[in-house]
Structure 1
């Protein structure tokens, strides 16, 4: 554990190398699509980080490897590491939130993850995985892990130059507390550099926004056609504001 260390000048290059290998190995075509986030991608990220950064620590010290899973129910954290210690074995699982990563895409990659900016969903997933791999290392070495603790923060900085121990992407909780958007309101939002205008038809965890579109699937009594968008409240602005 103590031998694991990445020089400050190398971490950016290492991320580029890992990302390049990941895209080539899996034939990823669209780094802005949530479809790029799947179990195969996560497993490949673990193997690449283990080789490039962790000196095969996972391979040599975690006999059964790390299980991976995806969740649409996690809305406050981008990832979660589950550690179970049994009589004769230890189990590790990393769970990734598709909901948070979709918000990251929808926000056009606003907000830092662990204090680091990203440019696409692969960057976001890699940064979350760096954080979760620190949990795996701490659980493996000490039996407990706390990302608010000094030991974890020191490890995250030493390995990945993480300047924060949280995933600062937009969360539903933040959206609900901060938004003044109301049903029936005319709003605008930007997605992948393009501006859209519509009317808020409902608000739950996200706002349902009806956007006029000649090829839309929904039609009103006047014959206007619309597409339905589910948009994080933090992305919406009242039209004219």
Structure 2
């Protein structure tokens, strides 16, 4: 079991060192603002953490493999660690643990000016936010390897996260798509809006906001119906291409 424990000053120093080293090694990220990213970037960052915080413990003691992936569909969790449910029944060298990163949180990090904490630590730029998310996932990796299950609500996880990285929470406060739509574009669920579609201007209502806004447009031949029997078609529209209807009267 990994027994490393660092004080806050040492953690900050190690994290800052990784920031600088990563920008030298990454094929896509050369500044603290993230515009492009690949699974290879996450692999490089993970290996730096293993080296700097864990003295290559994972490289030297885990015979299985790590996989790194990106998702644009993750709208709540900024990171996710996936592990076979039967990890304890498999040969260690056959185990694959996957770390998946929700990239939109980091692409749109700069769109709002406010505090952006991750695991109760104030992040100062998108790269630092990514590091803090990966730190959280590394704690899951450690639990999966040594205990074959992991929960960030458990005391064991909280101890690992606090000792290694100074985390005192398992949540992030990074800008969400819904918050950006509200603060930057003044768009809310239920708003009546218009948008261009195939050289036509359609009018509808915002039903949901994720990566794009889900807009329901009235249509007598529509595939969707409400409780009153009104029919609609569904459109997925980038929030930047939406215009709110003027309030008359």
Query: What TM-score results when the alignment is normalised by the length of structure 2?
Result: 0.69
CA distance in 1, matches of 2:123, 2:181: 25
* Residues 171 and 12 of structure 1: CA distance in aligned 2, closer, same or farther (over 3 Å): same
* Residues 177 and 25 of structure 1: CA distance in aligned 2, closer, same or farther (over 3 Å): closer
Q: What does 1:72-221 correspond to in 2, within 5 Å?
A: 72-84=72-84, 85=87, 87-88=90-91, 89-108=94-113, 110-172=115-177, 181=188, 182-184=191-193, 203=206, 204-205=208-209
Which structure 2 segments of 5+ residues have no match?
A: 195-203, 214-236, 241-249
CA distance in 1, matches of 2:164, 2:135: 9
Cα offsets for 1:143-179 (capped at 9, x unmatched) = 1100011110111011000121112223457789998
* Residues 163 and 105 of structure 1: CA distance in aligned 2, closer, same or farther (over 3 Å): same
Residue 230 in structure 1 maps to residue 234 in structure 2: no
Alignment partner, residue 32 of structure 1: 33
Which structure 1 segments of 5+ residues have no match?
A: 186-200, 209-227, 232-241
CA distance in 2, matches of 1:66, 1:153: 23
Alignment partner, residue 17 of structure 2: 17
Residue 7 in structure 1 maps to residue 7 in structure 2: yes
RMSD, aligned α-carbons: 3.1
Pairwise CA distance, 1:76: 0.7
Is 2:26–2:41's contact at 8 Å kept on the other side of the alignment?
yes
Is 1:22–1:44's contact at 8 Å kept on the other side of the alignment?
yes
Is 1:83–1:93's contact at 8 Å kept on the other side of the alignment?
yes
Pairwise CA distance, 1:109: 6.3
Query: What TM-score results when the alignment is normalised by the length of structure 1?
Result: 0.71
